[in-house]
Amino acid sequence: MSDTVPFDEALRTPLLWCLAAWAAWWAVAGAVAVVDRRWAARIAPPLLRSLLTAGVVATAVAPARADEITALDLDGLPLPQRPTHAPPPPQPAGVPTPAPETHLVAPGDCLWSIVRDRSPDAEDAEIAAAVAAWHAANRAVIGPNPDLIQPGQRLVPPGES
C-alpha cells in the first residue's frame, strides 16, 4: 500500500504555515509601526511584495477541483424564441400525402437546405437566387421573413403555384 498524499492536502500544511507567518508579520509590523513609523515604512513594501508573490504562486498551483463539480442545476442556454401559435395537427390516416412537387417543412428545415436538397450541384449564388424565388412563391404561407418557416407548412416550388 502506498503512502501518497493528495496534492491539495500536501499543499494545505505549507499554506497554513504561510498564513500563520503572515499574521505574525502583521502583528510585528503593527507593533513596530507604533514605535517607529520610518523603520516600518522601509521594511513593509519588500515584505508585502514577497507575500503577495507567494500568494499568487500558491493560488496558481492549487488544483481547480473540477472533479468534485456535479450537476449544479446547469440548465444550459435559454431556449431560442419560439412561435406563439400551435403546430399543425398530425395528418389523420387516409389523407393523401402532399404531391411530390410540394415540400412539407420538417423541423430543422430552412429554405436554403430545401433548395440545396433539390439541386445539390448548384453554386451558392444559384441557391441564393432560388431561395428568393421560393420565398416569393410561398410568401402567403411563410410570411415576410424568409428565415422563419415552421414545421408542417407546405411549400410550392417557384413556377408551380
Domain membership of residue 79 (yes or no) is: no
- According to the model, what pLDDT value does residue 21 have? 85
Per the structure, the complete domain to which residue 136 belongs is given by: 103-155
- According to the model, what pLDDT value does residue 132 have? 92
| Count of structural domains within the chain | 2
Per-residue pLDDT for the chain (161 aa), expressed as one digit of tens each? 557 777 777 778 888 888 888 888 778 777 777 777 777 677 777 777 777 787 777 777 666 555 555 555 555 656 666 666 666 677 677 666 655 588 889 888 889 999 998 888 889 899 999 999 999 999 999 988 888 899 989 999 887 65
Domain membership of residue 78 (yes or no) is: no
Domain membership of residue 12 (yes or no) is: yes
Domain membership of residue 16 (yes or no) is: yes
- According to the model, what pLDDT value does residue 130 have? 92
Q: Are 114 and 134 in contact (CB under 8 A)?
A: yes
- According to the model, what pLDDT value does residue 126 have? 92
Domain membership of residue 148 (yes or no) is: yes
Domain membership of residue 98 (yes or no) is: no
Give the other-Cβ count within 10 Å of 128's Cβ.
14
Give the other-Cβ count within 10 Å of 105's Cβ.
19
Sequence-distant (≥ 6) Cβ neighbours of residue 67 within 8 angstroms:
none
